[in-house]
Structure 1
Amino acid sequence: MAKKLYVFGIGGTGSRVIKALTMLFASGVKLENDFDIVVPIIIDPDTANGDLNRTADILTKYQNIVSKVGSENELFGTKIKTLVQLTNENSPNLSNNFKFGIDGSGQEFGQSIDYNGLDDENKALIDLLFSEQNIKADMTVGFKGNPNIGSVVLNKIVDSNEYNEFSNSFNQGDAIFIISSIFGGTGASGFPLLLKNLRINDPSRHNSDIISKSTIGAISYLPYFKVSDGNNDEKEIDSTTFFGKAKAALSYYEHAIFNNKDMLNSFYHIGDKANNNMKYAEGKADQKNDAHFVELAGALAIIDFVKSIPVITQSNQVTIKEFGVEDGSTKLKFDSLGQDTKDKLKVPLSKMYLFDKFIEKSMAELLKSPGKYNGESGVEKDFYNSDFYKIEFIPFLNYFKKWMDEMGTNEISFTPFHENQNHDSLLDFIIGNEVSRGSSLFSKNKAKGDFLIKRAHKIVSEGKLNNITEEERFIKVFDKILTEQLNNILN
């Protein structure tokens, strides 16, 4: 029976890892052990957060592409669904955009706990636990590095409509993965609270018994960036406190989670000591951090978790894993990665990158070339003005390109591809796997984009793709020819 993986992404880091996971699925990475549906659920009180809304748009475009081309491909071959799509309910109180509603987060903290309505004794208790700044904190932009605030507000997660729908849709054999950071406010408080609630068997909640016994994995991020202060003495987020908060959180996790074998099946943690600076932003649209390789590593942790489920469910303790690279380089290429990681990434990412470069550098050559691809039984020229191509596919490809480009800008960068391509050197693009460009008089240019063009015409002329939509044909043709050429390049 097909199974579902529910991925809870908490805070900005959660959104960015889900973005990386979506890029892997688009590139052809698949889940193992009969998991064929992924349900991303983003928990962030800052509903205007730039990272959240960018990821939600990427997920929506991915879904729209799959709805047209199907999931029987390597490219875009994993089904992604919202809670609404799982339950087929048309509830006005339930979001259909991957965002998880949190009651009480769109106001000051004091308002959410009705501070002014408390009697003097309870006010005195709150004053001991929270500072005046905490009580007046504006939570419309999240918890701004204050897990003590987040722990109170996020405890209401189980009262939301989204949590009820999650419970209703959960089946035996489904699994859960939680993404969070450990050095801020939203992730550090949200992870242990969500885990605690998932493990409570509440008879009043549908499927609570199944959920409480399900396989759960998680990744918590140690600090991997700093925020520049912009000469702002009033800033509420101070990256000098990140490591202190991470140590305090890990100390709590040690006795509350790791020493309790029934709480968590598998735990991954990762960080980066590099002094990578992000622009200071307390939240909303300004918080849109550049992609980082450690977020891609987090997406790989999710793939590894699903693969490892048969093993970790037999263990009587938490399986703890770290991520490392083969060498100490700060400029990572495919050969910098361990063999298992390289095997997972090299073909899919190369395929998607080559797809983007072909459209940029060689599509004009394809459109003017004679052959079956450019016709009624292939892909007609009007297709490239369709909503599918211009509004869904190309913007998604642009997101992929930007994601790859951003990973190359950090102090610990990931740049596995050459940038100096044109139509005649298209296939010579993977660093470490050079392809002859035919520089001498008698050598053959094996890097030309014409190799892809000829195969596109040949595949269409075989007639095996006649009875599918133009959108499906477009993806299936490129899925096949890109795989063929990558096998030639890498073998």
Structure 2
Amino acid sequence: MANKLYVFGIGGTGSRVIKALTMLLASGVKLDEKFDMVVPIIIDPDTANGDLNRTADILMKYQNIAYKAGEDNTLFGTKIKTLTQLTNENLPNLSNNFKFSIDGSGQKFGESIDYNGLDDENKALIDLLFSKENIEADMTVGFKGNPNIGSVVLNKIVDSQEYHEFSNSFNEGDAIFIISSIFGGTGASGFPLLLKNLRTNDANRLNSDKISRSAIGAISYLPYFKVSDNNNNEKEIDSATFFGKAKAALSYYKHAIFNNNSLDVFYHIGDKANNNMKYAEGKADQKNKAHFVELAGALAILDFVKNIPSSIQSNVTAIKEFGIEDDKGKLKFDSLGQDAKDKLKLPLSKLYLLDKFVEKSMTELLKSPGHYNGENGITKEFYNADFYKSEFLPFLNYFKEWVDELKTNDISFMPFHDNQQHDSLFDFIIGNQVSKGGLLSRNKATGDILIKSAHKLIKSGELDKEEEESRFIKVFDKVLEEQVNNILN
């Protein structure tokens, strides 16, 4: 039995990196032969956070598609599960949508520590450690750049029902990866506290010994965006403080984490470009555009699981950075190092082509009778059913949104053309031009090639025993793989 990878995503950055990882898994990127399942766990006190809820919806749609797709395909081929699904228990207080509940986060900080109930001596101590603004801080939208508050509240996560179920479901050989930012409040405080608890062997917690000895990797994000000035001099999040907070956090990490070798691999990444995000303290308004460094974070997770044997034998924290071959203009596949390019080029191209096929060629497909091979084909009714309209199409829309957002930053990622039509469908990878035909040449870019290949596979009978949803995914999984390989070669 293969192992599980638990991915803790802390704060808004954690949610966005998990989103990037989900897009890679949907496209067919694999973790490693030793791992066949990802268990995402999002830790964010701002339960209404736009980034968190978008990622949670993406994960649930992925799950539903992967379940219907069945086994032995690359598209949606890696299992993603919640803690509830691992324990197979119907516990009413256990989150089943990838969110980790945090006791006391939905109130003011002073209320969470019962400030008004303290005696005078303890109040005086609290007043020394925290400002009046800290004590009055409303935590319903997170810690708003105050790791000193977050460190107190997040220390309670080990007492939660979710942490109990995480511990119960952990097996020998499972691994852990932690995503956080280093310049805010939630990630900067949550990462060292979570790591400390994971490395503590507590006899009162089941499997604590296994967890404390497991392979643990982490990525911490240096500043990679700024929040725009909303002409409000009293705003609680100020990007002018980001680098100071990052420097202070790294100094703490040095003696609390690296000198103790409590982490196997540490990745760090940032972007000095001036990417401005709309000012938002949290809730639904906090929905940042995707950034290439979040995709690089997903690649760090893949690197971690690939190199676990070497990382846990050294007893020294390995420090890794992400590099690119060429940073001129918009990043393309050829801008990346060979390992990253090998991981991304075929899978992302497949899912992008599938999205464009649905957008540009579905009319031609539905006019084509060869697609409906009796009860063993794909019927027209399929395209009006819930699986296609409520799960598959919305997921593709999320993918399209993600790809489009990656183009918008100073350091952006734009490997695809986006001006194809049905007759030029295959000419979409920048650097891999495909002939669209002419007076004397054959059109090698038309979507008709994909339609004919799908018909041929359906008529072969190879997928006759599959349910219609599984047949749909497997047909396009196979024919897209063939056609994209032809384009790349």
TM-score (norm 2): 0.99
Contact 1:374 1:381 (C-alpha < 8 Å) held by counterparts: no
Is 1:282 paired with 2:271? no
Query: What is the rounded CA distance, in whole Å, between the counterparts of 1:381 and 1:486 in structure 2?
Result: 26
**Residue correspondence of structure 1 range 215-226 to structure 2 within 5 A:** 215-226=215-226
Structure 2 Cα separation of the partners of residues 373 and 326 of structure 1? 46
- Deviation, 1:98, is 0.3
Q: Which amino acid aligns with 1:452?
A: L
1:488 aligns with 2:486: yes
Partner of 1:186: 186
Q: What's 1:447 paired with? A: 445
Equivalent residue, structure 2, for 1:311: 310
Measured in 1, the distance between the counterparts of 2:372 and 2:17 equals: 37
- For residues 248-286 of structure 1, give each alpha carbon's deviation from its aligned partner in whole angstroms, at most 9, with x where no partner exists: 00011111111112x100010000000000000000000
1:83-115 residue CA offsets vs partner (Å, 9 max, x unmatched): 000001111111100000100101000000000
Partner of 1:53: 53
Q: Is the 8 A contact 1:366 1:453 kept in 2?
A: yes
C-alpha RMSD of the superposition: 0.8
**Is 1:473 matched with 2:451?**
no
1:406 alignment counterpart: 405
The answer (yes or no) to whether the contact 2:373–2:458 under 8 Å persists in 1 is no
What is the CA deviation profile of residues 14-49 of structure 1, one whole-angstrom value per residue up to 9, with x for unaligned ones?
A: 000000000000000011142011100000000000
Q: Where does residue 418 of structure 1 map in the other structure?
A: 417
Contact 1:71/1:79 (<8 A) preserved: no
Q: Distance in 2 between matches of 1:13 and 1:330?
A: 25
Q: Displacement, 1:330? A: 3.8
AA matched with 1:437 = K
Is contact 2:7–2:178 with CA below 8 Å preserved after alignment? yes
Give the whole-Å Cα distance in 2 for the aligned partners of 1:108 and 1:141.
10
Is the CA contact (8 Å cut-off) linking 2:15 and 2:42 kept in structure 1?
A: yes
Q: Please tell me the residue identity of whatever aligns with 2:381.
A: D
The corresponding residue for 1:355 is 354
Q: Identity of paired residues, percent?
A: 80
Paired letter, 1:480: K
Q: Is the 8 A contact 1:456 1:478 kept in 2?
A: yes
Paired residue for 1:295? 294
Specify whether residues 125 and 330 from structure 1 end up closer, same or farther in structure 2 by C-alpha distance, changes over 3 A only: farther
Q: What whole-Å deviation, never above 9, does each CA across 1:295-345 have from its counterpart, x for those lacking one?
A: 000001001100000111111200110001101224101010001000000
Q: 1:107 and 1:269, CA in 2 relative to 1: closer, same or farther beyond 3 A?
A: same
Contact 2:9 2:41 in 1 (8 A): yes
Residues 308-347 of structure 1: pairs in structure 2 closer than 5 A: 308-347=307-346
Deviation at 1:445, TM superposition (A): 1.1
Quick one: distance in 1 between partners of 2:44 and 2:419? 40
| SS state at 1:331 partner | coil
Q: Do structure 1's residue 208 and structure 2's residue 208 form an aligned pair?
A: yes
The DSSP-based 3-state class of the residue aligned with 1:359 is: helix
Q: Secondary structure at the match of 2:375?
A: coil
Alignment of 1:186-265 (within 5 A): 186-261=186-261, 263-265=262-264
Bigger shift: residues 372-381 or 166-175: 372-381
Q: What displacement does 1:72 show?
A: 2.0
Pairing 1:110–2:129 present: no
After TM superposition, the score normalised by the length of structure 1 is 0.99
Mapped to 1, the partners of 2:374 and 2:363 lie a distance apart of 15
Counterpart amino acid of residue 286 in structure 2: Q
Q: Give deviations 1:429-470, integer Å, cap 9, x for gaps.
A: 0000000111x3111111011110111110011011111100
CA separation in 2, counterparts of 1:326 and 1:357? Answer: 28
- Which residues of 2 match residues 57-72 of structure 1 at below 5 A? 57-72=57-72
Q: How does 1:116-131 map to 2 (within 5 A)?
A: 116-131=116-131
Conserved in 1, the CA contact under 8 Å of 2:46 and 2:140?
yes
CA distance in 1, matches of 2:456, 2:77: 24
Of 424-433 and 323-332, deviating more is 323-332
One-letter amino acid of the structure 2 residue matched with residue 104 of structure 1? G
Q: Distance in 1 between the 2:410 and 2:265 partners?
A: 29
1:267 aligns with 266
CA distance in 1, matches of 2:66, 2:132: 50
Aligned pairs (5 A) from 1:71-150 = 71-150=71-150
Report the AA paired with residue 278 of structure 1: M
Q: Does 1:391 align with 2:390?
A: yes
State the shift of 1:229 in Å.
1.8
Aligned equivalents of 1:376 and 1:418: distance in 2?
37
- Please state whether the residue corresponding to 1:371 is helix, strand or coil: helix
Tell me, in whole angstroms, the C-alpha distance in 2 between the residues paired with 1:373 and 1:258: 60
CA contact under 8 A between 2:27 and 2:348: conserved in structure 1?
yes
Matches within 5 A, 1:456-467: 456-467=454-465
Q: Could you tell me how far 1:66 is from its partner in structure 2?
A: 1.2
Q: Which amino acid aligns with 2:353?
A: L
CA–CA distance in 2 between the matches of 1:468 and 1:78?
19
Deviation at 1:419, TM superposition (A): 1.2
Give the Å deviation of 1:375: 4.0
3-state DSSP of counterpart to 1:421 = coil
The DSSP-based 3-state class of the residue aligned with 1:202 is coil
User: Match of 1:365?
Assistant: 364
Residue type at the aligned position of 2:298: A
Contact kept? 1:50, 1:288, Cα under 8 Å: yes
Q: Which runs of 5+ in 1 are unaligned?
A: none
Within 1, Cα distance between the matches of 2:39 and 2:221? 21
